Amino acid sequence: MYYQNIFKEGKIGNLSLKNRVVMSPMGTNLAGPAGEVTDQLVAYYEERAKGGTGLIIVEFTCVDYEYGKGFVRQLRLDDDCYIPGIHRIADTIHKYGTKVFVQIHHAGRQSSSALINGKQIVAPSNVVSTAIGEEPRELTTVEVKELVGKFVKTAERCKQAGIDGVEVHGAHGYLINQFLSPQTNLRTDEYGGSFENRMRFLEEIIDGIREKCGEDYPVTVRLSVDEFVEGGIDLELGKQISQYLETLGVDGLHISCGTYESMDRIIESPLFEQGWRVYMAEEIKKVVNIPVITVGSIREPRFVEDILSEGRADFVAIGRGLIADPEWVNKTMEGRDVEIRKCINCLHCIHSAMGGSHILCSINARAGRELEFKEQQQLPANKNCHVVIVGGGPGGMEAARNLSLKGYHVTLFEKENKLGGQLHLVTDPNYREKMMWHIDYLSNEMKRLNIDVRLNNEATVEGITALNPYAVILATGGRPKLPQVNGNDLAHVYTYEDIKLRDIMFSNNKVTVIGSGMICHGTNRRLAEAGNDVTFVEIPTKASKRIGSDTRLRLLEKLKQVNVNIITDHKLEEILSDRVIIQDLGSGNQVEIESEYVIVAMGIEAYNPLEGALMEQMKNVFVLGDAAGFSSLGDATRDGFEKAYFLESMVTEALQTV
């Protein structure tokens, strides 16, 4: 065992946990339309329990579906009829020696009228959240006392369902957090004003749970000990709240931060460093004697071990890391660190769940689809099939990995001298580190599975057909897309690939960069740091739509720090030999920008030079990822996984069309 602190038994109250890894509660949208437990939700949690996690905290679970809903398909336990479903989750998780809590929750002003059938949202006071934009109705004193009862009754149901304990959600700007914060609690009754009055709502919930569930039933509280909002809770007040909760008999504190108005501090983009939030838990641990759980983009076993060995926290919560790799704990325990598929913070899971889908992962195609892809399909016993893959990007390697696991012999051609494809284009230091994690993971899988990888080898039709493959998968990627305007073919027009892959660079020149997205921002910064006078004309692209608004603002701020001139809300009209002409989308006025060089970073278009010629000789040819017109890591991973999973049926169908 490499990490003795991670695998020490731990305790929360009188509950023993087999290790120090906690799965953070994360909304999945996998509940049913009425908030009920579904087979897929059970399978999702089972996968993480089977992977060795010590404690799973089930996603935020609504105590009041009429006013407290915070998600489209939020899990609920506000009625006895939902107990059997929660009992299924408990029984399933317990099979693997994992303990389970449920996080009980009310959204307060961070709900919306659309979520609660057109009713006005409620809150301690009628303070508008700028993130929601709706004025809440102030709860009456009687309603507050009724809500205390709803939290307590939900905790009772958890105990009846066999759940080992409850986490009271007092963080992230939700209702309890709203009562705790001087910025959102302006009440003049017994639940507002002084510190003790602002604590009263949470105090009565805790006292009620103790009375109904017993002194030995574990209760933890998740706290935003710094809201990062002017006039709200700061770390000093967070310490005071934590100390007060300890006097109330709380069994542990799960330390977080932020509200919807500082969302980038709750769900970090790739720009944040691993474990950046740990300092908050460390500060709380200095002033309390109960267990402290820390969280915050923690990905590497060594990092977790160091937190524990240094006494900065008692438990480490991993959220998105367990979406990306449910076996994180088992792999760590078995010394298989290099096999861990580390979360890269790309926010694909968040965007998918908030965009009408259920939770998905850009690097784990099975996440949220565990029932659909239960296990690898096996080849018929009489087959010893050879599959050729062209392209060593993430889609090609994901296909190779899964085909090898199914028993295929795989040969992968890559024309460059390294694997990873366009993932190498990311240059932001924090984001690049995370992308390299994924490149390293996939590259190691190629070695571990003995896949025949041929670098510096551009595949040809003759070379492929000479291997007489059962099937060919083309993952040849994409190439930079050029704007459809006059001048796009001039000699001084380059693409982001020229800058990032071919090391073409200028200095002390006037350069205009056109486009958007993470790679575009990196291109701007690289050119500015080389001493150029850079103007960035932000043109919306597919890639930019995958960046959250908070991340975009953070990226723009980074560019301002290196003196990039930023122009938004314009469109490109024409590229001339010495200038670029753009048009203001509002006024229609044209603007000329003096430019010695123009760099285009407007995304990619499919590059697929082999399909036509190959199809003349064989039918079992398939195209995936960017080469098939997709343009994201998530699409490439999913496409590579699915084509590997369903290859037999695809080949059968292709041959039937001959």
- Give tens-digit pLDDT for 567-576: 999 999 999 9
Does residue 598 have a pLDDT over 60? yes
pLDDT at 545: 72
Q: Read off the tokens for 317.
A: 């919560």
pLDDT band at 393 (very low <50, low <70, confident <90, very high): very high
Placement of tokens 């977790």 in the chain: 304
The CATH number, out of the four listed (3.10.20.30, 3.40.190.10, 3.20.20.80, 3.20.20.70), of the domain defined by the range 10-354: 3.20.20.70
What's the start-to-end Cα distance of the chain, in Å?
55
* DSSP secondary structure letters along 309-331: HTTS-SEEEESHHHHH-TTHHHH
pLDDT at 375 over 80: no
Of the candidate ranges 22-26, 246-250, 433-437, 501-505, the one whose mean pLDDT is the lowest: 501-505
Give me the mean pLDDT over the 159-166 stretch.
98
What are the boundaries of each domain within the chain?
A: 10-354, 386-477+607-656, 480-605
pLDDT at residue 376, as a whole number: 54
Q: CATH 3.10.100.10: does it fit domain 480-605?
A: no
Per-residue model confidence (pLDDT) at position 325: 98
Give the single-character DSSP code of 377.
Answer: P
pLDDT score, position 502: 79
Is pTM, for the whole model, over 0.85? yes
Q: Indicate if 480-605 has the same CATH topology as 386-477+607-656.
A: no
Residue 174 annotated in active site: yes
Q: Does the pLDDT value for residue 380 go beyond 80?
A: no
Q: Flag whether pLDDT at 464 surpasses 90.
A: yes
pLDDT recorded at residue 391: 97
Candidate list 45, 67, 174, 496, residue with the active-site label: 174
Q: Is the pLDDT of residue 220 over 70?
A: yes
Q: What's residue 334's pLDDT?
A: 96
- Domain covering 386-477+607-656 assigned CATH 3.40.50.720 in the classification: yes
Query: What mean pLDDT do residues 256-267 have?
Result: 95
Per-residue pLDDT, 381: 39
Residue 605: which pLDDT band, with cuts at 50, 70 and 90? confident
Residue 522, pLDDT score = 86
**What pLDDT, in 10s, does the model give residues 269-308?**
888 999 999 999 999 999 999 999 999 999 999 999 999 9
Which of 12-21, 93-102, 489-498 has the weakest average pLDDT?
Answer: 489-498
In three-state secondary structure terms, 443 is helix
Encoding tokens for residue 488? 């796009």
Burial (CB < 10 A; 0-12, 13-18, 19+), residue 134, is middle
Task: Give Cβ neighbours of residue 586 (< 8 Å, ≥ 6 apart).
Answer: 569
Lookup: tokens for 198 = 């602002």
What percent of the chain lies above the pLDDT cut of 90? 83
Q: What percent of the chain has pLDDT over 70?
A: 98
Of 141, 144, 167, 126, residue with least CA distance to 68: 144
**3-class secondary structure, 581:** strand
